[in-house]
Amino acid sequence: MLRFRSHSEHSLDLKGRLNIPARFRDVLREQYNSEELIVTHWEKCLRAYPVAEWEALEEKLLARGENQPDFGRFVRYVIAGVNECPVDKQGRILLPPTLRTGMGIEKDVAVVGMLRHFEIWDKNAWDEETRSTRQNFGDFREGLANLGIF
């Protein structure tokens, strides 16, 4: 099974287009039979989902989201940011200015695989996230042990 793995660094062009890594385009085509992504803002980055994965997320929100306290605010935030982004013939998507501005994305980005989706980070924010995670790596021991990984 193909997954979104690894990361790469890119620069947006003047129109705000992002060149999707070839290995991610392969996953999109071969695993999801699609040339379109759903992109929305998240906590510190943008998230890009194949349409099938996004629809599964929406179904979870519809089925279980109402039972979560104060969850309407989260749903409102995420759904309001949704943009359908077709991949063009050059393998790029257009990131709307509203999404870029909200995450402080100007030019240099990191594209980070997250198995079923991928994230688009401002390069400096990604560098800080990586530093912070490395410094606090011990915080993951219990969770990794529970998964049988550590």
Record the pTM: 0.93
Q: How many whole angstroms separate alpha carbon 38 and alpha carbon 50?
A: 6
Please report whether residue 2 resides in a domain: no
Instruction: Please state the domain count of the chain.
Output: 1
Please report whether residue 133 resides in a domain: yes
Q: How many whole angstroms separate alpha carbon 129 and alpha carbon 133?
A: 6
Q: What is the mean pLDDT of residues 68-89?
A: 91
Please report whether residue 26 resides in a domain: yes
pLDDT at residue 94 tops 80: yes
Beta-carbon contacts of 5 under 8 Å, excluding residues fewer than 6 positions away, are 23, 113, 115
> What is residue 36's predicted lDDT score, i.e. its pLDDT?
97
CATH number at residue 25: 3.40.1550.20
Query: In which domain, by residue range, is 12 found?
Result: 7-146
